[in-house]
């Protein structure tokens, strides 16, 4: 999975830009599978990308079995059977899977050669294979009925709380 070190992110969106361009030859936040949030209110910046969670909320909620797990534990989308119902989008607690222009966009790890990690000059992104994936259950309850963008915002905001404590401590 792609791990984010939020303390190193400057909010430049190079990952987002590289992802969209690699997959579509265009640049757009909508076309990217990794989306950067800039919280101007408190200095926190961070990309949000599929964390390959234990719960696999998106797969469980898909009525058409369009989603599956690939060899890198990434989410694979079969658009031939997808009905664009957006259940996966609703299910993800952190807004990491989203429909755009009749397509389901989620990180597929670029078949292992990850564009976003190569684009990051700050080493804020890394590829890690984990025996046990992370849980996103703590974000699930509060994410109900939020838009994907709102879910990404809440996810980054919560992560930023700890980082901001370290800033204060370092400056004290």
Partner 1 sequence: MLKYGFGGKLLRVNLTEKIFKIEKISSSWIKPLIGGRTTNTQRLYDELDPNCDPLGEDNIIIFGVGPLTGSILPASAYFIVTAKSPLTGILGDSAAGGSFGPEMKQTGFDQIIITGKAKGLLYLMITDKEVEFIPATNLSGKTIVETTCYIRKKHKDYAIQVAAIGAAGEHQVLYSTIVSSGNRVNGRTGMGAVLGSKNLKAIAVRGSSPAEYANPTILKQESEKIHSAIMKHDEYTKRYNLGTTMLMNDLNSLGILPTNHFQDGVCDYIEKISGEKLANTYKVKNKSCFNCNLHCSRYYICENQEAEGPEYETLCSFTSKIGSADLPFALEMNYWLNQMGLDSISTSEVIAWIMECQERGLIQPDDLEGLKLTWGDTDKVREIVKKITFRDGIGDKLANGARNLSREFSEEAQKLVLHVKGLDVINGDPRGIKAYGLTYAIASRGGDHLRAEPFFELTNRKEEAKRRFGTEKAADRLSEEGKAALVVYSEKIALLTDSMTMCKNIGLCMDILNFENITALLNACTGLNYTPDYLQKIMNDSIDLQRKLNEKFGITREDDTLPERFVSESLKRGPTKGSTVDIDKMVDEYYKLHNWKH
Query: In the complex, which residues of this chain contact partner 1 (CB under 8 A)?
Result: 7, 10-14, 17-18, 20-21, 24-31, 35, 37-38, 40-43, 45, 100, 121-122, 146-147, 149-150, 152-153, 167-168, 170-171
Residue (62 or 105) nearer to partner 1, CB: 105
Smallest CA-to-CA distance from 58 within 149, 158, 148 is with 148
- C-alpha 67: how far from chain center: 16
Task: Write down the least CB distance from residue 64 to partner 1, Å.
Answer: 25
Say how many CA atoms lie within 13 Å of 126 toward its Cβ.
9
Task: Write down the least CB distance from residue 33 to partner 1, Å.
Answer: 14
Residue (28 or 111) nearer to partner 1, CB: 28
Task: Write down the least CB distance from residue 48 to partner 1, Å.
Answer: 10
CA distance 74 to 2: 10
Residue (72 or 118) nearer to partner 1, CB: 118
Residue (56 or 167) nearer to partner 1, CB: 167
The DSSP result for 116-161, as a single string, is: HHHH-SS--EEE---SSPPP-HHHHHHHTT--HHHHHHHHHHHHHH
Residue (129 or 171) nearer to partner 1, CB: 171
Task: Write down the least CB distance from residue 38 to partner 1, Å.
Answer: 7
The DSSP result for 74-123, as a single string, is: -EEE-TTT-----HHHHH-TTS--EEETTEEE---GGGG--HHHHH-SS-
Task: Write down the least CB distance from residue 30 to partner 1, Å.
Answer: 5
């Amino acid at each position: 999975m792609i791990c984010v070190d939020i303390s190193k992110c400057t909010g430049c969106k190079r990952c987002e830009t590289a992802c969209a361009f690699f997959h579509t030859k265009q640049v757009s936040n909508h076309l990217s599978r990794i989306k950067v949030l800039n919280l101007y209110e408190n200095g926190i910046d961070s990309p949000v990308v599929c964390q390959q969670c234990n719960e696999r909320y998106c797969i469980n909620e898909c009525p058409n079995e369009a989603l599956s797990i690939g060899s890198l534990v990434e989410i694979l989308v079969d658009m031939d059977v997808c009905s664009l119902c957006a259940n996966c989008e609703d299910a993800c607690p952190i807004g990491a899977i989203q429909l755009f222009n009749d397509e389901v966009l989620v990180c597929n790890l670029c078949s292992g050669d990850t564009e976003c990690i190569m684009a990051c000059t700050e080493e804020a992104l890394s590829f890690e294979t984990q025996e046990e994936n992370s849980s996103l259950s703590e974000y699930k309850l509060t994410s109900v009925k939020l838009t994907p963008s709102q879910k990404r915002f809440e996810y980054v905001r919560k992560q930023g709380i700890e980082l901001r404590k370290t800033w204060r401590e370092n400056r004290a």
